[in-house]
Structure 1
């Protein structure tokens, strides 16, 4: 379809200006057209119309992608996607009208050719991961994440664009049914997509790893493959460690990036919320040999992987929302004031049970201290000692737990309002479950006093488990003697 001029009307929408003329689609800024009496309906937000290219020379994937995006965008909710307005009929004029979101795509930062600080890269990555997690919670895998499809709002949050190659677990995958070749952008496509497996949310984590790699190094981890053989190399080849390109890359950031780029999906982050957690808490990232490497993997290691990859088969993952539930972020609130051994023991037992049935879950141990505990100290050094003491205490509390298969972090928060601090932490870190001690006040008292556990349980957007204190029998016997 040729470019439309300003003033052109389609199904009650008036073209204002062309925003983008690309090989796959034209995008216009639009408003509601004026009625016969001259009045014009106003919109709650600016709108854009996307009209796909569908000429005789274009492939069937253009038509299928339009149908997929129309289906998925109309179902998605939340601040990380443009709001859907209307869609046109394929038999007449195919179009999508959606919210026009202001901001810059991630490509803007790459085109600037200016080095970002590592903290800035982490913030961009965290925003991407939070947006991807929102999609996965709605059972959608984007499967075409790249810098042009990630828009950063002025407030720093991310919006995902272009769902033409996406997959919704609750709808037929039209692209998989109609096309037999790998579907995705060659630079960012995941190994499992290369062999035709779609619907794994960890494919989006791989694509985010490619973008983080380029933001840090200015290079692409797997180049720009133009052949099927070039695409398949990512099934067995590791990218050059970022620290080989830039010696100043922090080990924690390389650990995060290379974990995203693992060829086997099971070795990547189990969910985008886990990735966001690490990017927002770099001091808590557990650095392995992966993060310390400064030279690439040798020929023979790659050769052995190539042999294994020849017979490798990727299994479809569970439904995205189910996979997220299997690897939750669990937060335990550990009190430090006026707390009994029975409460600390019972909390630890509850955490052990929760982790035991959820391999791969992440544990965040949190305690809240009053600002007066640090403000009354004489120097910043003394304040640091107070935090260190509480961190050490949290680590001692967690020591009896079997945490070998779980990422674990420890956090000391300062606040005069314990409940609000816990709620803010849970929301800000996409916590799936909160474990804390039950209030020791009687039921009559709780009717008049909103205790910390009751307030958290009432206002938290995730599951809250309140644990009553209990000691093992031998301890009880010792107390009664």
Structure 2
């Protein structure tokens, strides 16, 4: 259940990150039926209604400017909400499935040069679009950089530092300044003018850390750390890691110069100087270029630019199908609390379906499937029923890509339990075929539907409810493929059967009659 609803539509479901500026929640947009990220930003400096009003204006202005950065490396800003007390801000953004760059950093497990260069090049590209708006990030650091599952680098929290005025920190200030000291430029420390070169200094800090596994400066106190950014020279990378190319070391030192005007002219220059260290298209990584296990590879976008989505792994053609049902284990009693949780999940999911909130209805079931599988077994009757329900909701909600592997796995599970010709296995195979048809895999979908229909004909009548639906699916798919003659051979006898059973005015009878009329008129060129 949501812990809070923002602006009548954004539900806060689960907190998954917390930082100095606030908390990030996994949320749900009830209007557009999609998951979102909601960043709740704390603001402790509101001291009067006048200050609150000025803060509200600044917040909305910065949020609008940030939303103008049109680049896939910047999570979209969907909405900006200020609560009535003016004490909390809610930024509603695209929810990114990825890993923080912090997970890549370890002094004993250094990244390949190509990985570090690929991250920096993608960040430079994002900054080039932001600086054109112009928007200056002000707080670039590994924690604000995510690598999505496909290797796309996402830069988070544009404009947040501007909203909260985090660039006013001075070396002589008392108290705790807001900001991230390890990546803070000398001009930020001094409270000087912020320019795009400020972001370049932070990018230099990040690239230094990516290549060496350690931050540019360390100190026992925040004061000493900021003092080093103003006065101390960074350690050249090749002293820390001799295999670093000299030109890359020079680029990092150039980015880390104290005076902004002495740094590279712009992000485009930085990108051009990174190009020699990026993998060329179609070059597969060598053993030496293997990065950390279990994290997305940021070089993939350069190796295969604009590549299509990776294929879903399907079972190999030679995989044997179980010849009969496997011995069934004794059913495990369902604990009373789990039984109640499952019932509530079904009820909540049904209520959400009434409102056509498909994504959230599926998520509600997901929350109970894992504990149920742990308690009862992954192929228990109750867990399989929950998974079938979730897969069906995803299919109805238009998410065939997510439903397909679920139906494939369910078909395999039911084949093991009740045999490959059992009703539940047949149904899941047919549903998987319908998913494939939605995804454009029509040849495979037709073959599977025909296989299932052949099984149904041996077990039941050709006019059973299951057989009629399969015959209808096959005929309409053939027609959509322009295979009108084959479609006619399927649909004409089906129409006769439907008229005999339900009459010519039945909804399916009328639909098939219209399809046959199109075929007979030769409108598809194959009549």
The TM-score, its normalising length taken from structure 1, stands at 0.49
More helix by share: 2
Structure number with larger C-alpha Rg: 2
More strand by share: 1
Task: Kindly indicate whether structure 1 or structure 2 has the higher relative contact order, using CA contacts under 8 Å at least 6 residues apart.
Answer: 1
The TM-score, its normalising length taken from structure 2, stands at 0.45
